[in-house]
């Protein structure tokens, strides 16, 4: 699941898309905080993974739904960002997520795939899988809308 085909039907508009995405991900302090890693990246696709840790759980010991959503939102964001022009920034307008099964596992992988990349709006379909004992199980599905902020560097103002 975290190894999508590198071939994709979307062509990046910025030849430097990959470095731009990897830099952006590295600057997400929250991803570092929870131990998230960029597991796969291709034009229009991105996978983000995290290992289960006690501090990421809710009261029943499962991965907190907010962490599942954060993983999926981040995968969706970089899948969309990979197709945006240089100098722009992605912003999540909204997302809807179905938490379909308890988030029980050793590692969680969110894989986002762009469904439609417009000039302004990008729609991303993202699935989250729980991995345990060599098995992978679909636990969540997200449908998200992102907007491309042109002439907005994807970094904090200095």
> How many chain residues touch a copy of itself (CB under 8 A)?
56
Closer to a copy of itself at the Cβ: 13 or 145? 145
State in angstroms the smallest separation of the CB of 67 from a copy of itself. Answer: 6
Extended beta strands in the chain, E state? 37-42, 45-51, 89-99, 107-117, 121-132, 135-149
Closer to a copy of itself at the Cβ: 86 or 138? 138
- Gyration radius from the chain CA atoms: 15
59 binds a copy of itself (CB under 8 A): yes
Among the residue ranges 10-18, 39-47, 49-57, 128-136, the one whose residues contact a copy of itself (CB under 8 A):
49-57
What is the CB-side half-sphere exposure of residue 26 using CA atoms within 13 A? 6
Per-residue binding letters, 90-129, with a copy of itself (x by CB under 8 A): -xxxxxxxxxxxx------------xx-x-xx-x-x----
Closest CA to 96 of 73, 77, 116: 73
143 binds a copy of itself (CB under 8 A): yes
Distance CA 110, CA 69 (A): 9
Distance CA 126, CA 77 (A): 10
145 binds a copy of itself (CB under 8 A): yes
Residue 54 CB partners (closer than 8 Å, separation 6+): none
Residues that bind a copy of itself (CB under 8 A): 24-25, 27-33, 54-61, 64-67, 69-71, 73-74, 77, 89, 91-102, 115-116, 118, 120-121, 123, 125, 138, 141, 143, 145, 147, 154-157
């Amino acid at each position: 699941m975290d190894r999508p085909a590198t071939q994709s039907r979307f062509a990046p508009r910025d030849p430097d898309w990959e470095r731009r995405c990897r830099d952006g991900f590295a600057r997400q302090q929250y991803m570092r905080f929870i131990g998230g890693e960029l597991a796969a990246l291709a034009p229009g696709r991105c996978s983000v993974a995290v290992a289960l840790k006690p501090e990421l759980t809710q009261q029943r010991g499962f991965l907190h739904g907010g962490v599942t959503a954060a993983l999926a939102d981040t995968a969706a964001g970089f899948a969309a960002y990979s197709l945006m022009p240089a100098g722009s920034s992605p912003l999540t307008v909204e997302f809807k997520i179905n938490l379909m099964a308890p988030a029980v596992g050793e590692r969680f992988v969110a894989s986002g795939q762009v469904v439609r990349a417009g000039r302004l709006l990008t729609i991303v379909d993202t699935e989250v899988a729980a991995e345990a004992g060599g098995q992978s199980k679909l636990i969540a599905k997200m449908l998200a809308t992102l907007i491309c902020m042109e002439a907005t560097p994807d970094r904090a103002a200095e």
